[in-house]
Structure 1
Amino acid sequence: MTVGIVCETAAHTMAVGRRLAGLLRAGDVLLIEGELGVGKTTFVAGLAEGLGVEEPITSPTFILMRTYEGLMPLTHADVYRVETLAEIEDLDLTEAAREGVLAVEWGNAIEQWMPASHLEVRLELTGGEQRTVHLIPRGPGWEKRPLEEVAV
């Protein structure tokens, strides 16, 4: 079941990520989509905070991938500039997800190479600072998690 959460501020978007972190397990993959500037990295910063990561989260656009240590590892990837299958294979995103959580910005571009079971997180500007965060479970394992509890 898709869950839509209206966020009035960036802090609210972070809070949604923080609450979602409590439902995550090692091996989970999140594909995060939305226009430039919609708050994808802000959402991941909330996830990181919820996973006990103490480092500041920055967009990995130019380095493509960064792993943070917390309660479990969080690998944050940005595939906006990835153009070939070889580049995706070089990142070895599947391996990165084994021990912890993998959050991929612009994930829709590589969905075909990701596990069938993942959570699609779609952020959409709905006016002014307001955005809606859509949590869309894909594949087995996600439909039984109480995603509606993430709404704050």
Structure 2
Amino acid sequence: MTQKFGDLAPSLYPGERLGLPEEGPRSVARVGRRLLAICIDWALAWLPAYLLIGGPHAMWWHSLSFCVLQIIFIPTIGGSLGHRIVGLHVVPIAGGWVGVWRPIVRSVLVTLVIPALVWDSDQRGFHDKIAGTVLIRA
């Protein structure tokens, strides 16, 4: 019997198909921690943009600052400052080091916001799917 599109059985919990545990360390990050982490990251990106630039152009600098902070911290400390503060970690699905290109792709897509709102059954946003990463509890 061949499977048709949409015939895949639903996961019992987020991360099951990825071989991740249901709860505890290495389980898929849930919505509450994700939202808190992104709020922290946006606030940290806001500081240099509005304190150094100010004015009507600060919004663009804020987005650029957010993206740059993500690109710097994901490969160096395993996640953004917000991720690390709330106990999350960005890892590649294939294992190993996240590298340089994944944080760039992921960060640009998160900065666009829309991909972060589109999730799959493993609670991975479109930005994580494209980058081949998953946000897990540390």
TM-score by length of 2: 0.28
Higher relative contact order (CA 8 A, sep 6+): 1
Answer with 1 or 2: which has the greater Rg. 2
Say which structure is richer in strand. 1
TM-score by length of 1: 0.26
